[in-house]
Amino acid sequence: MTGNLSGQPPAMPRRVYTSWSARVAAFFVDMVPLGLAWGIWEVVALRSATLDCVTFDNGGVSCSSGISSVGYLAFALTVAVSVAYLVWNYGHRQGVSGSSVGKSVLRFQVLDEKTWRPVGFGASVLRQAVHLLDAAVCFIGFLCPLWDRRRQTLADKLTGTVCVPKRY
């Protein structure tokens, strides 16, 4: 689809665009791998924690626990895996195909509102970064799809993207 002569995106009915609830569900699906990775780190950190106790002359005991070197290594690995997953999922995967893992499961994609094609790696990463503005004021930007004609978040409006169901 192409825009009209004024350069504006075509006027499409609201139902053409992906619902807010589907977008929220896709976000939670996208976060499952991160939740698993951080859960594994938590188990490793707790299981490998060090415990230092000091006994005082009056019979009292003071103990403190801390993260072990294994816990710190697991933390660094979890951070690296998390960043790699986010760059792959939201940069490469979503940029090339239009869909992150969650969007694929919910069967919709992010497209350029003028060309209706995936936006590419850089624009997809930029869109995710601009989502920080959606969160800046009490997450209102993420609620915009509830009343917006194209169901766009503030980040979608600023980056010129729309979310639409996949066509098979």
Please report the DSSP string for 10-33 in residue order.
P---GGGSPPHHHHHHHHHHHHHH
3-state class of 60 per DSSP? coil
Contact 106, 26 (CB under 8 A): yes
Q: Which residues contact 124 (CB under 8 A, 6 or more apart)?
A: 90, 91, 94, 95, 110, 118
Does 168 have pLDDT greater than 80?
no
Phi, psi (degrees; rounded to nearest 5) at 66: -155, 170
Does 9 have pLDDT greater than 80?
no
Does 8 have pLDDT greater than 60?
no
pTM greater than 0.85 (yes/no): no
The pLDDT, as a whole number, for residue 66 is 87
Least confident among 5-14, 24-33, 70-79, 146-155? 5-14
